[in-house]
Structure 1
């Protein structure tokens, strides 16, 4: 088996016991944990340029370390010249070791590279313990080569936790080191 990711070790040895004591849970199974991270990119221009979608899928695969899946439109929208079934985006669902490694790179490498970064907005919580974050450029990740990108696209990053309420998820992400705005 591969060696355990750094953030997973920190969670198991430090964060989980700390949250167990701070929140006053009765069972260690109540402690919030990150279940999965979904990274997606919407590429509306892919309707006219099919090669762009392939390029974006390759970039997302390089960023996450896992093959990206193309997503299709669920319904037709005439104003956007969109038909049901057209491929208009790509996504990756990360779990386990890849999830922790991606989160580590996002927090410690990519977010500090954002221009004029002042912290992550706390408005991304959905009320059920999940957090959504939007990144405007994929070039903040060091794996991306500036010369080879076809178009600068934004990323949607959804962190799904086992927390029932937002306060538990917020505390978990703060312990992981997510730099929230003060």
Structure 2
């Protein structure tokens, strides 16, 4: 399991690479946030499908997110459902990361690695997937609509360099 490997092998390796003296300085995955946006706010079946897909992918019940304010250009009023999201922490976050790196990303057609430019300046990494069919839990005949998602990996790293070393050590395939 990735979490055990992180504690036993990766932490000492990162301490040496980054020059840390204290084990608590070593960056780790704090949480992983998966977000799916819903365009069809009036159709409850689309919302249920989004919630079901995200529950199958993450193993945890997602929260339906609602619009904070009305935006007339998008036809959204305050309180309308605009998506669903789930936050994974601890061992579940590491298990999802392992599935993402070893199963999902290699299943993407013409995948050559993720861009290292997707760090936010504080060591957190974001990536977007164009469809949910790359996850093994999702079957094509069970989905209502092919839909993408955003995955944000929040780390305790202070800089992008530290975050890069952490994710690289955990197995994230970066383009070089």
Same-fold call, TM > 0.5?
yes
Matched, 1:100 2:94: yes
Within 5 Å, give how 1:17-166 maps onto structure 2: 17-45=12-40, 47-166=41-160
Q: How big is each residue's C-alpha offset from its partner over 1:73-112, in whole Å with a ceiling of 9 and x where there is no partner?
A: 1111101110011011000000112111111110000000
Supply the distance in 2 between the matched residues of 1:122 and 1:53 (Cα, whole angstroms): 32
| 3-state SS of paired residue (2:175) | coil
| 3-state SS of paired residue (2:50) | helix
Q: Per-residue deviation at 1:26?
A: 2.3
The alignment's TM-score, normalised by the length of structure 2, stands at: 0.98
Supply the distance in 2 between the matched residues of 1:143 and 1:8 (Cα, whole angstroms): 22
| 3-state SS of paired residue (2:91) | helix
Matched, 1:177 2:157: no
Structure 2 stretches of 5 or more lacking a match?
none
| 3-state SS of paired residue (2:127) | strand
Structure 1 stretches of 5 or more lacking a match?
1-5
State the 4+ residue runs in structure 1 displaced beyond 4 angstroms. none
